[in-house]
Structure 1
């Protein structure tokens, strides 16, 4: 499984690589306030480096985590970055995750994660920051089967989405039914659940990574828990995101 996940992570990274490699200037502003394309790639590089440290030296990562703050994370995005450094970091992370023994969980900024979960989280973040870059460049990316990883993580973080906003976690199941890019359907949760989320997989992923305002997406919620989930959905670790304004990337 980890092999397939790492292959999908590499494929998602290459899509973003293809967008930024031809650019002579990475100072182009992106929809994230104050972040240029260079900041987006710098953040991915910094987080890859932290994930590699967690995989190779968990004690060192845990020690660094005690000193970490939101400001430190943001500073990581502002470190000078080159395409070659980002590529090397991606390869190093893949090698580190592949070498983690089965059953071992890695320390992280949120709960400990298996190597597979870490690879999924890195794919989600690569796709999300890649969306920022694509929006900055006016590029429309074709949705792929890799969105399933992003959607799966979004479903797994249902409880986290409420908790990080200081809200009680609903104690009822939610059925999620998404229209996949290939015309199929991806589902999570009990078939008979009264609360339901439906819509295109792309829109659900944009919602959970906060790359579009909920009103701009074709995501339908039925039931109190599902309806409450939509405005707080957050597939990424860290404090609640500001999201996007209505009608804007």
Structure 2
């Protein structure tokens, strides 16, 4: 039976692909609200790291060569976008625009199938510590969903989120400590009680119930905050207590150096 998280990744990728299906070439040059990346840049970013995720599962030496080249280029001062296009030029026939989107759409089902057949507890290497294959495909779902947000926003489209968003919400909750330690701060204890409403209407809860230390609201908006696609002030998420408030102001569920969440009012659907 296919690993559920791999199915969730497939569905997340299908949802993004459907939003761009049939688009003309000009759409891919559209600048998003994320660091002035274009839609083409976003698709290229997702495609290269999908390729990396398949490499680390099926060909670990190839992944080590890949990540070594990427890290060396970034240490030399090159940015994500420059590095990804160098790789695409060398390994993906230099495709751009709609052709790059087509390559992305051809590739992600292979990734879903491979992880779907993998042992969820098997370990794979990444840029940081090793992780389980289950965690790796959840991370791919999270990145697809979060970077997909800037595409849905700039196109003025609403995304139909399913309860697969629980994977991303759970990742957001479990990276509470990471958010603070990544900023060289001691994570305040206890962790806030988190109560979220799923797209289906189900209520999801994490951590010990407390009356004075709570994060409550929509699971989708919580996921937007922890992936830094929305400022908490642009959502209806409710916080009770200083710890919960501080967490939602700096939450970061992804690896890497501390990132500043978007300023209030800067990330939103275009009308």
TM over 0.5: yes
Give the structure 1 partner of residue 10 of structure 2: 10
Cα distance between partner residues in 1 of 2:249 and 2:233: 10
- The alpha-carbon distance between structure 1 residues 199 and 77, as it changes in their structure 2 partners (threshold 3 A), is farther
Cα distance between partner residues in 1 of 2:67 and 2:33: 28
- SS of 1:186's equivalent in the other structure is strand
1:170-229 Cα distance to aligned partner (Å, 9 max, x none): 242221101111222111112247522111111101101111112111122223332221
Which moves more between the two structures, 239-248 or 126-135? 239-248
Cα distance between partner residues in 2 of 1:144 and 1:102: 22
Cα distance between partner residues in 1 of 2:124 and 2:61: 10
Instruction: Report the alpha carbon displacement of residue 68 of structure 1 after superposing the two structures with TM.
Output: 3.4
Instruction: Report the alpha carbon displacement of residue 41 of structure 1 after superposing the two structures with TM.
Output: 0.6
1:5-53 Cα distance to aligned partner (Å, 9 max, x none): 1111111111110111221121011111221100111000011011111
1:156-176 Cα distance to aligned partner (Å, 9 max, x none): 211221222232222422211
Matching of residue 22 in structure 1 with residue 22 in structure 2? yes
- The alpha-carbon distance between structure 1 residues 74 and 237, as it changes in their structure 2 partners (threshold 3 A), is farther
- TM-score scaled to structure 1, two decimals? 0.90
- The alpha-carbon distance between structure 1 residues 109 and 223, as it changes in their structure 2 partners (threshold 3 A), is farther
- The alpha-carbon distance between structure 1 residues 209 and 189, as it changes in their structure 2 partners (threshold 3 A), is same
Cα distance between partner residues in 1 of 2:79 and 2:2: 30
Instruction: Report the alpha carbon displacement of residue 72 of structure 1 after superposing the two structures with TM.
Output: 5.8
Give the structure 1 partner of residue 36 of structure 2: 34
Cα distance between partner residues in 1 of 2:135 and 2:54: 14
Give the structure 2 partner of residue 169 of structure 1: 187
Give the greater-gyration-radius structure (CA). 2
Contact 1:41 1:77 in 2 (8 A): no
Contact 1:154 1:205 in 2 (8 A): yes
Aligned counterpart in structure 1 of residue 206 of structure 2, from 184, 188, 206? 188
**4+ runs of 1 displaced by more than 4 Å?**
none
Matches within 5 A, 1:1-249: 3-24=3-24, 25=26, 26-69=28-71, 70=74, 71=78, 73-78=80-85, 79=88, 80-81=95-96, 82-101=100-119, 103-192=121-210, 194-249=212-267
Contact 1:216 1:246 in 2 (8 A): yes
Contact 1:203 1:219 in 2 (8 A): yes
- The alpha-carbon distance between structure 1 residues 161 and 198, as it changes in their structure 2 partners (threshold 3 A), is same
What stretches of structure 2 of length at least 5 have no aligned partner? 89-94
What stretches of structure 1 of length at least 5 have no aligned partner? none
